[in-house]
A and B are shown apart, each in its own frame.
With several copies, the nearest count.
Chain A
Amino acid sequence: MKDNASPDLSQCLDLLRTMYLIRYTEEQLAEDFAAGKTPGGVHLSTGQEAVAAGICAHLTDQDQLASNHRGHGHFIAKGGDPKTLFAEIYGKSEGICRGMGGSMHVADYSKGIIGANGIVGAGLPISTGAALADLLDDDGSFTVCIFGDGASNQGVLQESFNFAALWKLPLLYVCEHNGFCQFSPAETVTAGTISDRAKAFGIPVKVVEEGNDVRAVWNAMAWASEYIRAGNGPAFIEARTYRINNHFEREHLVVQTPYRTREEVEKMRQERDPIIMLRQWMLNENLTDEKVLSAIDKEAARIIQESVAFGEAGTVPPENIGLEYMFAGTYN
């Protein structure tokens, strides 16, 4: 596979569409949270859309994706329906998890979305098991685990590396390095370079220095998916990105000492917005025009507005439903 593989026009437009869908989802949810419309808290991924889009562009519904607490973007990029996402976060029966999981637990198993997770790092063991299933199924599909730089300090990361390396599991690790672990700058809680930790287990690594360049992420993922599908075992991608939003939407109420400057955030917003970066590049290269791009933008906005409406129109789950969902109650 060529190291300079690059998405073609239609792929670029798909990437843009995905990023817009994520962006509008997160912007909407920020408003919703402020307005008291989401019962629980939300962790938004504004500014990190390129990672979700670039990675998932190479996945099929048979491939599985485990995500973390900041999982809306991963859900959408992997083909989850924003309608069921909004309904979920609004706590409705029509939600993808019937309102039982909420923002931190969105999952659509029919699409291979095996779950956001509220326990930092917990996607790693789960996706190790999912990749074991892939290995046994031997159908060419594989599992991706997306986790943050903070999650990299959970020992389960290296435990999983060991399993994956030993058993040649078809498992891709994607570290979405946004520079912060909650309110701690990464360098204060994370020693060394995360991808080096994978190398120690013989797992090949690609570091995407500009993880907001969706084409760079797409390129790394083209390599990784080809490598893994060929049966070579696990691979690792570290994508450097930046979280524009608060850690969670309650942040300003609880954190009194700033852990980053407004200027830094503003600069990132202006200079490293993955949507603007992709648009700009396409226009510079004369691949398309404003009209096409703006149509995609509007279409995404419309889809999200419809999704919001769908979520709002949803019904409140029966009060007593929790106990019913606990167990299947069936035998094989």
Chain B
Amino acid sequence: MARTRLITAINDALREEMERDEKVILFGEDVEASIFGDTRGLIDLFGPRRVRNTPISENTLTGMTVGAAASGYRVVLHLMFANFVYTGMDGIANQIARARLMSGAQIDLPITIIASYGGGRANAAQHSDTPFSPVMSLGGIHVLAPSNPADAKGLLKSAIRCNDPVIFFEPGGRGGEIGEVPDEDYLTPIGEAAVLREGKDVTLIGMGSTMRMTIQAADKLDKEGVESTVVDVRSLAPLDEKTLCGAASNTGRVVIVDESRDRCSAASQIAAILADRCFGYLRAPIKRVTTPDCSLPYAPASEKYLLPSIGKVLAAANVVLSTGETR
């Protein structure tokens, strides 16, 4: 194990997979200079054939992945900010997510799209979205949102080796967060949530950028004598319904924390699943801590006001702890 920054873990994953399989190619706008640091240095190691700076043409970039992947390459596209998912949406939604089905499974599409999401840095409305659900809703593409360096590395490696399309959502502005990362080659499986701790009183479910505050809220509750089960969703599509249901049923009291706008969020999807599959175990309303249905303003206090926070997680936890049936 080594203490590693999130962005370094991602960079390591890319490097290791490019070393492992020469069919892996990477392209995107300024992937050489690497604005976030995640693709830094790859051009020096793998050269301009496999690492390509591109023009600003998101619609072509997303669609291109299909042609290259169907021709036998393992394609990594760096889309920079997650708001550009919208800019290149046709390729993602109308092509990547359904080309295999439409072909009657003639082809595999080993495509990984990387995009950095989230607010809190006064990047204003066009550089701060958390567009999990527009991609989750497509069906034909896996959606990953790691919260820590080890998972980021393990999930990205799985994504690249996966013969199906994956979008890898990188939590924006958290490249510096540090965690222990195994030294050996490892994969974090797609489709598995992680139960970070088990406690009998309340279940806190977080994902990606909200995981840290979720854990911190659990720590606070712990000090007050409230024991939390804490789940990191990690894979938003496919969702690990079994683990989520198990964790929710343990306590019957659930708070889901997701930076997406509330409407049709990952949090809402999880709540819907629980309200169906674990209904009998629920003891209190399922609470969602999400961003209200609003784009993020520039002014920091106005932006912060809308985003999930430890305080909001605790407030929601207190509601579910104090309402509903007792055990």
Contact = CB atoms under 8 A, between A and B. Distances in A.
Given A129-B67, A321-B297, A156 B104 contact: no
A51 interface: no
Contacts of B106: 96-97, 107-110
Interface stretch (A13-21, A207-215, A254-262, A281-289): A254-262
A109 B108 CA distance: 11
B87 A119 contact: yes
B177 to A, nearest CB: 17
B272 interface: no
Contacts of B52: 167
B56 A325 contact: no
A128 B64 contact: yes
A66 B53 contact: no
A129 B63 contact: yes
Chain B, interface residues (CB within 8 Å), range = 35 or more
Contacts of A155: 57, 59-60
Interface in B78-135: 83-84, 87, 90-91, 94-95, 99-110, 121-127
B59 A159 contact: yes
B31 to A, nearest CB: 10
A28 interface: no
Nearest to A118: B126
Given A181-B56, A259-B33, A100 B297 contact: yes
Contacts of B300: 39, 91
A125 interface: yes
A189 B292 CA distance: 39
B163 A102 contact: no
B214 interface: no
Contacts of A109: 70, 103, 106-107
A325 B305 contact: no
A88 B107 CA distance: 17
A132 to B, nearest CB: 5
A193 interface: no
Interface stretch (B35-43, B194-202, B215-223, B317-325): B35-43
Given A133-B72, A163-B60, A327 B302 contact: no
Interface in A292-314: none
B55 interface: yes
Contacts of B251: none
B226 interface: no
Interface of A: 39-41, 64, 66, 88, 91-92, 95-105, 107-110, 114-115, 117-122, 124-134, 136-137, 143, 150-151, 153-156, 159-160, 162-163, 166-167, 181-184, 188-190, 254-257, 259, 316-332
Given A109-B70, A125-B67, 6 more contacts: A119-B94, A136-B25, A256-B40, A322-B306, A323-B294, A325-B105
